[in-house]
Amino acid sequence: MYQETVLKNNLTIVYERIPFVRSVSFGLWIGAGSRYETREQNGISHFIEHMLFKGTGTRTAEDIARTIDNIGGQINAFTGKECTCFYTKTLDEDLPTAIELISDMLFNSTFEPVHIETERKVIAEEISMYEDYPEEMVHDMLTEEVWSGNSLGYPILGNYYSVAGITRDDILNHMRAFYVPENSVISVAGNFDDKKLLDLVEKYFGHWQSHNYCKIHAYKPWFNRSIKVKKKETEQVHMCLGFRGVKQGEENLYSLLTLNNILGGGMSSRLFQKVREEL
């Protein structure tokens, strides 16, 4: 059973001890995703995720990688529509190293202009690569249509024009607004001592203060009915359909998941049998 603790600076820690393993997973979750962006700065949350790996006042990008590689650990991050997460997986004895590293990246990243320009090109290539995969693009097309006019429909990566216009000041201002303890959660699971864990988090994150944080209330989206077609020179056609679902936590969710499996959940599903075997 997980436990929850809130530090004096309102940073929430959710943790569960699993004594029969020798590893620990540590995650820093920030309530900053594409849903909370403007159209002009679409993609800035993902941009920041990249930049936190580019170097701090005492570590280069290579140093960050070597710090975790030298202990046989893993470090990565991802950005979604509602959050950004930085996470590690290490041996239990190396948890202090992981926590210190994440805190260094969070508080001491330098955002050097040369690194920003380099990463801008990397993200542009990432967008191009994404557009080369119709099976991925079709999902973004669906969300853009279903939530047209709402930031939930914005692509997580942004677009060429918005990413090209993001400045260093934009990045710093966005972090001041969203990268605050009240808007963040630390999650930990694995083999650790509860008191030592809380002491470590207090040591490396207890000084974290907000900058006049004001909780952002995203607009409730409207479900729009429309059809969007994009032609590409490919050998296959990709189609995506979206329907109204149920609220998270409702009992009908399990009925919907059952229907999902019947229609396309496996090799015996109706769509698989019809499209793959019969057609």
- pLDDT of 214 reads 67
pTM of the entire structure?
0.91
To which H or E segment does residue 212 belong?
none
3-state secondary structure of 39: coil
* DSSP codes of every residue in 164-229: HH--HHHHHHHHHHH-SGGGEEEEEEES--HHHHHHHHHHHHTT---SS-----PPPPP-------
Q: What is the pLDDT of residue 73?
A: 98
Domain boundaries, the chain: 3-205, 243-279
What is residue 218's predicted lDDT score, i.e. its pLDDT?
A: 67
CATH of domain 3-205: 3.30.830.10
pLDDT at 147: 87
Q: Which positions of the chain have pLDDT values less than 50? A: none
Q: Could you list the active site residues?
A: 49
pLDDT of 5 reads: 98
Spatial contact of 147 and 153, defined as CB atoms under 8 Å apart? yes
How many whole angstroms separate alpha carbon 7 and alpha carbon 5? 7
